[in-house]
A and B are shown apart, each in its own frame.
Chain A
Amino acid sequence: MPQPTMLAVQEISKSFGALGALAGVSFSVRPREVFSVIGPNGAGKSTLFNVIAGLHTPTAGRVMFQGEEITGLPPAVINRRRLAKTFQITNIFPGISVLDNVRVAAQSRLAVSGHLASLWRRPAVDDRVMELLGAFGLEHRRDELAQNLSHGEQRYLEICLALATDPTLLLLDEPTAGMTPGETKEATALIRRIALARSLTVLLIEHDMGVVMGISDRIAVLHFGQKIAEGPPDVIRNDPQVIDAYLGGADD
């Protein structure tokens, strides 16, 4: 059944003390599209993600996910509603194997999770986990400690963790942060491919315009906590306000 909107962000404001990070930001993400939020550093992108994913409660406004309000719910509850998030700074389980990293994530969706039987049972999720690792070219690293992976591999593991919780909406916070241009191109193509294959809706944060233009269906531009433009890549590319924000803010 088609749904009009997957995620609706309605008039979200967030301030930290006197500092206003977001001011009345609204947009809607449609099912199965790749929607990007871009903006210079400090524009409020990560704050926006943290509000959606439940880390921060907004000062004003609502977040609707699949028609239900999720504003201010704890991260664990939001994740269980199939909204998963990756982190800009790699946020994995460093001291356990790559396989165990993804296993833990995959098990959180099983019926046994949170029940008494989970004290003695370990449900088999390895097929699903290996399939995920395979998609990111990490299968030969399965027994390696996560902390020993290269930066690029850790970025992929980060995405694997989120995908293993079987989301319908995936929030990617600068997934290519710290990658070389070559890696970035590869990663971007991979994300697009996986989103298509799994019929995922993707909400992407980037400050690198080049990454976004290639994979987005629609783009919203944040500048000093406000949305200054929204539309398909071609429109955004030529929007005078956007050009101004990027060039004007380029010295940060």
Chain B
Amino acid sequence: MAVVFAALAALPLTPWMSKYYMLLAFDALLFGAVAMSLDLLMGYTGLVSFGHAAFFGLGAYSTAVLLERGVLSIWLCLGLAIVVVTAYALMVSYFATSRRGIYFALLTLIFAEVVYTFFRYTQTFGGSDGIQGLPSFQLLPGLAVDTPVRIYYLVLAYLLLAYVACRVLVGSHFGQVLVAIRENEDRVRFLGYNVQRYKMGVCLISAVLTGLAGALYPGRAAYATPDLLHWSISGEFIIMVMIGGLGTLAGPILGGAFFILLQEKVSSYVQWYSIVVGLVLVLIVLFIPRGLLGFRHAFRRRAGQQAH
């Protein structure tokens, strides 16, 4: 993994990285980070969220609202995103984790649709246009993140920190309980664990990580629109995790990047790109159901780490 991050850090130095490719790389890493956050729920805890677009979108709108008002500090933007997403995620996860299986998925979807409807059909935050034409972040007063290379390094730093945090988390006591919940939720209760508390905990962590990624998005796109909150985005997040490999962290990063690159490249050649993308995804699910980075592979590596 260290080699991969080093290679990614060296990427802007290579001669063929135009502005277009820098921004494409930004998207690949950003959505990779989101897919990784969702993997905490899907791969480790066995919970499928159909509402992660809401966390992402709320993060993006938090930033957009501040930038629009001339608050340019990235730290304030991220801070607001954490507050907003935490508040929303607390409510959603409280209700969603009191139900199981398909009901969990449905509740996350329903809450997210309410948020989408609010942003799309009221004029509070610009309606269907969202908030457009935003200025750049500032890391420090006077130090703006205003070039593709700078914004790329910003997302790379975020991905690295989020990856380390997730890696520590899944190796922790908390992470082990999550895996036990995935394997056999009922038995976990009889071992003295408050299952709902653990589920809410991991929902919050996953939501905040997704929201932070969302908060970085306007730094590249200069807008936040209700499209970011649409359920189809939640669906894409799920696909990214699936094609990358459940329960591997690195797999979903790869899956997210792969999905973004595939979509972008195919759509630049043909109008009906979603058919091609769909076909490729079907083939992946059929022939490598454990994803680009499989479940087994990660398991074996984990067992190896414990040996020494």
Chain A residues with CB under 8 Å of chain B are 53, 74-76, 79-80, 84-85, 87, 91-97, 99-100, 103-105, 107-110, 112-114, 118-123, 143, 161-162, 164-165
Question: Could you tell me which residues of chain B, from 190 to 247, have a CB within 8 Å of some CB in chain A?
Answer: 190-195, 197, 205
- Residues of B within 8 Å of A94, CB to CB, are 183-184
* Residue ID in chain B nearest A125 by CB atoms: B173
Give the shortest distance, in Å, between A77 (CB) and chain B (any CB): 8
Judged by a CB distance under 8 angstroms, whether B75 is at the interface is no
Q: Are B172 and A118 in contact (CB under 8 A)?
A: yes
Give the shortest distance, in Å, between A7 (CB) and chain B (any CB): 17
- Residues of B within 8 Å of A112, CB to CB, are 173
Binds A, one of B26-34, B131-139, B174-182: B174-182
Judged by a CB distance under 8 angstroms, whether B303 is at the interface is yes
Judged by a CB distance under 8 angstroms, whether B87 is at the interface is no
Q: Are A75 and B190 in contact (CB under 8 A)?
A: yes
Q: Are A76 and B195 in contact (CB under 8 A)?
A: yes
Q: Are B187 and A120 in contact (CB under 8 A)?
A: no
- Residues of A within 8 Å of B193, CB to CB, are 76, 108, 113
Q: Are A122 and B192 in contact (CB under 8 A)?
A: no
Alpha-carbon distance between A96 and B302 when the two chains are bound, in angstroms: 11
- Residues of B within 8 Å of A76, CB to CB, are 189-195
Question: Could you tell me which residues of chain B, from 21 to 57, have a CB within 8 Å of some CB in chain A?
Answer: none
* Residue ID in chain B nearest A106 by CB atoms: B191
Judged by a CB distance under 8 angstroms, whether B129 is at the interface is no
* Residue ID in chain A nearest B187 by CB atoms: A91
- Residues of B within 8 Å of A110, CB to CB, are 173
* 8 A-B pairs whose Cβ atoms sit less than 8 Å apart in the complex: A76-B194, A87-B187, A94-B184, A100-B176, A118-B172, A119-B205, A122-B171, A123-B173
- Residues of B within 8 Å of A87, CB to CB, are 187
- Residues of B within 8 Å of A104, CB to CB, are 176-177, 179-180, 188, 191
Q: Are B189 and A74 in contact (CB under 8 A)?
A: yes
Q: Are B192 and A79 in contact (CB under 8 A)?
A: yes
Alpha-carbon distance between A3 and B246 when the two chains are bound, in angstroms: 51
* Residue ID in chain B nearest A95 by CB atoms: B183
Q: Are B173 and A107 in contact (CB under 8 A)?
A: yes
Q: Using A53-B190, A84-B190, A121-B173 as known contacts, say yes or no to A93 and B183 having CB atoms under 8 A apart.
A: yes
- Residues of B within 8 Å of A79, CB to CB, are 189-192
Q: Using A94-B184, A97-B303, A143-B303 as known contacts, say yes or no to A107 and B189 having CB atoms under 8 A apart.
A: no
